[in-house]
């Protein structure tokens, strides 16, 4: 299977155009890309049904976040929630965040490798909301380069002219407002103010990265997958097995001799 490259992710924008015209300067919307199925309602269902055995569920509530990991480790003074309670909070309309979801499927791992040739190490947060007007964040700026893959429903975005740090107060100058659908990709530069509102049930994957050390257009470094310390994606489906001599062993030899005799 062909590996995902940054060309595939940014198509039809070229890598050169992206870095010279958008990187660190302005947001970019790429409509209808190939990554609509990165994380679907089905994936969300499977993951939430594993509760409480989830790596780090976060729930955005009126007065901040409820973080499963922090509650579990005693770092947050809040009650542990039962699965039924978590389901009821979801049903009431709260937004859920699933951090560190980059190993949920091969495409997300491939995408991370593709970005990390050009950026530093990254992570994927999945944001899911069950309905419109779900509680979300006020206008803010992030410290990372953000690539937002929309996979379910629609999301309303406001992009501001201002970049952090602000001289004072909140951002005021709206640069752009738009609605994104499943399959759309949004790039928001590091430190640019933005706000997201839910207008219906939706899922998006925020794949975000710091920049490589001292990365600039005049001295731009692209690294290889080999240099990347990220864990590889392995295909665990037993199709071909390699013996000690590194030669392929085919299916009949992988079957148990005992049962082969009985079945023949
Ligand atoms: Fe953000």
> Could you tell me the distance, in angstroms and rounded to a whole number, from the CA of residue 84 to the centre of ligand 1?
29
Given this model, what pLDDT does residue 21 score?
98
Bridge-based pairing of strands 192-209 and 145-163 is: antiparallel
Q: Which long-range contacts (CB under 8 A, 24 or more apart) does 121-124 make?
A: 121/209, 121/210, 121/229, 121/230, 122/207, 122/208, 122/209, 122/210, 123/99, 123/207, 123/208, 124/100, 124/205, 124/206, 124/207, 124/208
Given this model, what pLDDT does residue 1 score?
67
The residues of the chain scoring below 70 in pLDDT are: 1, 239-241, 249-255, 259-260, 263-264
Q: Considering the entire predicted model, what is its pTM? A: 0.90
> Could you tell me the distance, in angstroms and rounded to a whole number, from the CA of residue 142 to the centre of ligand 1?
5
Say how far apart CA 250 and CA 241 lie, in whole Å: 7
Given this model, what pLDDT does residue 195 score?
95
> Could you tell me the distance, in angstroms and rounded to a whole number, from the CA of residue 205 to the centre of ligand 1?
12
Given this model, what pLDDT does residue 61 score?
84
> Could you tell me the distance, in angstroms and rounded to a whole number, from the CA of residue 86 to the centre of ligand 1?
24
Burial pattern 55-78, b for ≥16 Cβ within 10 A else e, equals: eebbbbeeeeebbbeebeeeeeee
> Could you tell me the distance, in angstroms and rounded to a whole number, from the CA of residue 46 to the centre of ligand 1?
26
> Could you tell me the distance, in angstroms and rounded to a whole number, from the CA of residue 140 to the centre of ligand 1?
6
> Could you tell me the distance, in angstroms and rounded to a whole number, from the CA of residue 146 to the centre of ligand 1?
8
Say how far apart CA 117 and CA 136 lie, in whole Å: 32
Given this model, what pLDDT does residue 182 score?
96
> Could you tell me the distance, in angstroms and rounded to a whole number, from the CA of residue 135 to the centre of ligand 1?
14
* Interval 129-147: pLDDT, tens: 999 887 777 899 999 999 9
Given this model, what pLDDT does residue 240 score?
65
Given this model, what pLDDT does residue 247 score?
76
Where do the domains of the chain lie, and which CATH numbers do they carry?
Answer: 6-209 (2.60.120.650)
């Amino acid at each position: 299977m062909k590996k995902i490259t940054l060309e595939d992710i940014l198509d039809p924008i070229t890598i050169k155009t992206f870095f010279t015209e958008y990187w660190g300067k302005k947001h970019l919307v790429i409509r209808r890309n190939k990554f609509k199925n990165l994380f679907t309602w089905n994936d969300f269902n499977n993951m939430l049904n594993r509760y409480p055995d989830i790596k780090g569920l976060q729930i955005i509530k009126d007065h901040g976040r409820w973080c499963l990991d922090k509650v579990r480790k005693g770092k947050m003074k809040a009650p542990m929630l039962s699965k039924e309670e978590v389901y009821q909070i979801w049903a009431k309309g709260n937004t859920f965040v699933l951090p560190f979801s980059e190993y949920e499927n091969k495409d997300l791992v491939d995408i991370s490798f593709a970005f990390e040739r050009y950026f530093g190490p990254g992570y994927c947060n999945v944001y899911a909301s069950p309905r419109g007007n779900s509680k979300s964040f006020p206008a803010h700026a992030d410290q990372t380069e953000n690539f937002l893959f929309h996979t379910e429903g629609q999301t309303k975005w406001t992009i501001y002219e201002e970049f952090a740090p602000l001289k004072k107060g909140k951002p005021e100058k709206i640069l752009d407002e738009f609605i994104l659908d499943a399959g759309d990709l949004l790039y928001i530069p590091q430190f640019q103010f933005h706000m997201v509102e839910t207008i219906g049930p939706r899922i998006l994957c925020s794949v975000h990265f710091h920049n490589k050390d001292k990365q600039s257009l005049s001295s731009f470094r692209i690294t290889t997958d080999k240099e990347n310390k990220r864990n590889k994606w392995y295909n665990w489906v037993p199709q071909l097995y390699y013996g000690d001599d590194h030669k392929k062993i085919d299916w009949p030899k992988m079957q148990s001799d005992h049962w082969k005799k009985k079945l023949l």
